Amino acid sequence: MTPPEAPAQGSQSPGTKPPAVSARLEVLKKRRDFVAAARARKQGTKAMMLQARPRRDNEDVAPDMIRVGFTCSKKVGNAVARNRAKRRLREIARLVLPVHGKPGWDYVLIGRATETAARDFDALQSDLKYALRKVHAAR
């Protein structure tokens, strides 16, 4: 995933599109990354569970990279329902993480049964922003 493009001067009103940022998004694919995030900080919301962990310096990942993974269990529903929930999670991650996420962190978004697919999109974004604030404040 790449960061959003910066709006051209005067083309849009401020606040309608996220600004271009230096953090890049990459998708987690290896099981060991998901397991490491599962052992780290967690924050639940009505629509999802967020797991987050700061990466160690000895990992072979660029320090300005934000990595994110998505998962939904069979409790969410059949394959169609799980894929719909993951699509919604991917989109809110694309919009929210470059602005509110921290470079050098791994995030895993876990969909919840019925709530992730049915929740209003703005409320879903607010849930992720809330979870990020709580995870980063926990020290």
**Cα separation of 88 and 39, whole Å?**
25
Q: Are 103 and 30 in contact (CB under 8 A)?
A: no
Q: What phi and psi values does residue 113 have, to the nearest 5 degrees?
A: -60, 135
Q: What phi and psi values does residue 37 have, to the nearest 5 degrees?
A: -70, -35
As separate numbers, helices (DSSP H) first and strands (DSSP E) second, the chain gives 4, 5
pLDDT tens digits in sequence order for the chain, 139 residues long: 555 565 555 555 555 555 555 567 899 999 999 999 999 999 999 999 999 999 988 888 888 899 999 999 999 999 999 999 999 999 999 999 999 999 999 999 999 998 999 999 999 999 999 999 999 997 6
Residues whose CB falls within 8 Å of the CB of residue 60, separated by 6 or more in sequence, listed in order: none
For the chain, which domains are there? 24-137 (3.30.230.10)
